Amino acid sequence: MATLQLKNLTKRFGKKVVAVKGINLEVHDGEYLVLLGPSGCGKTTTLRMIAGLEEATDGEIILDGVDITDLPPRKRDISMVFQSYAVWPHMTVYENIAFALKLKKLSRSEIDRTVREVAGMTKIGDYLDRYPTQLSGGQRQRVAVARAIAVKPKLFLMDEPLSNLDAKLRVATRTELKAIHNKTHATTVFVTHDQSEAMSIADRIVIMKDGEIMQIGTPEEVYNESASIFVADFIGTPPTNFIDVQVVAAGGTLHLVNPHLKLPLSPENAARLKGQEQRNLILGIRPENLTLTGETEANLSAPCLVAEPQGSHQVVSIELDDKLLKIIAPARPAVHSGEMVHLKFKQESLRFFDPQTGQRI
């Protein structure tokens, strides 16, 4: 276990492409940190620089107080699990796990004890005599994880290790990975573009865009206190609804107004927007914070465009000025296309964003 610090870490490809733009980040001892972002945001390049597979253009990589920026990969005391499993097909599961331990010149009994211990931890103890071609994708990925754990590195790196698995197996395997982490308490940096995956396993999430860090926080913080429109839109399924509004003073309080909406603000929200009268803002509200209600209590009414049953709930969509708004509603009563939908906004869940900067107000 170890701490990791990235100081002004930068990666340029040629003169024009800056893949990682001077990021600063600290990974705590025993933490499960997830780098999350869309394709091309720099998360995998960051991971590869930590591993030594990409040379850093500028900045420092400090592992447990030691500068490893210029060390070759084999001297960094880091294990990496790849998207493609990267297990050796000509070796049995036992031999795959034992290989790195033999290079460390451990005794035969210590190698055997370690292999069987990590095989049990990753639930592949029954497959030690099999070859990778005789295993499913999920089993092969567990072999790769077991091999990484066996050498007891200071830091684990995982580059989208679940992306080659089918949807059901991905969910099961990410639970297993979190359970393994809870047993080993190993410092881990995990890369994914799947926000659901990140939310379910991370201690903290680092959200990246265009080579920069947009926000760092716990899953609850980045979900409930998104720092920008980008983060609020990227995190959550369905994503946050955004509505263009103007702040208007009327009847002794502030209202959010547009052609479809006149929403009086609670005292708490009115205090937050004090001095913002006549300003145009973007209102953000998550689908679960819009509730179906009666017509007299509604803040907004519109016909249902489509309703998508999901078993435990339904996702109801309405259209306002060519923008879709989605509502997560109870499964019953079922809402039908064309039916008038009456919505009430949960005041404690309203978020306000600057339309110019995209940052939260």
Q: How many helices (H) and strands (E) does the chain have?
A: 9, 20
Work out the average pLDDT over 299-307.
95
Q: What is the mean pLDDT of residues 250-268?
A: 92
Q: Report angle CA 92, 104, 62 to the nearest 5 degrees.
A: 110
Query: At 302, is the pLDDT very low, low, confident or very high (cuts 50, 70, 90)?
Result: very high
Q: Are 61 and 68 in contact (CB under 8 A)?
A: yes
Q: How confident is the model at residue 162 (pLDDT cuts 50, 70, 90)?
A: confident
CATH numbers and ranges of domains, the chain: 4-233 (3.40.50.300), 241-353 (2.40.50.140)
What are 66's strand-pairing partners? 63
Percent of the residues in the chain that have a pLDDT greater than 70, as a whole number: 100
Alpha-helical regions (H) of the chain: 43-51, 93-103, 108-121, 137-150, 167-184, 195-201, 219-224, 229-234, 267-272
Half-sphere exposure of 118 (CA within 13 A, CB side): 26
- The two beta strands, 340-345 and 351-353, are unpaired
According to the model, what pLDDT value does residue 355 have? 95
The angle subtended at Cα 230 by Cα 195 and Cα 313, nearest 5°, is: 50
In the beta sheet, which residues pair with residue 63?
A: 4, 66
Average of per-residue pLDDT across 129-146: 91
What is the three-class DSSP state of 309?
strand
pLDDT at 85 over 80: no
- Position 347 scores a pLDDT of 96
**Do residues 62 and 22 touch, judged by C-beta distance below 8 A?**
no
Q: What is the pLDDT of residues 181-221, one digit of tens each?
A: 888 889 999 999 999 999 999 999 999 999 999 999 999 99
Please provide residue 198's backbone torsions phi and psi, each rounded to the nearest 5 degrees. -60, -45
Q: What average pLDDT does range 72-77 have in this prediction?
A: 93
Q: How much is the pLDDT for 321? A: 86
Q: Is the pLDDT confidence value at 104 over 90?
A: no
The pLDDT value recorded for residue 251 is: 83
Q: Which of 64-78, 135-149, 325-339 has the lowest mean pLDDT?
A: 135-149
Please compute the mean of the pLDDT values over residues 14-30 and round it to a whole number: 95
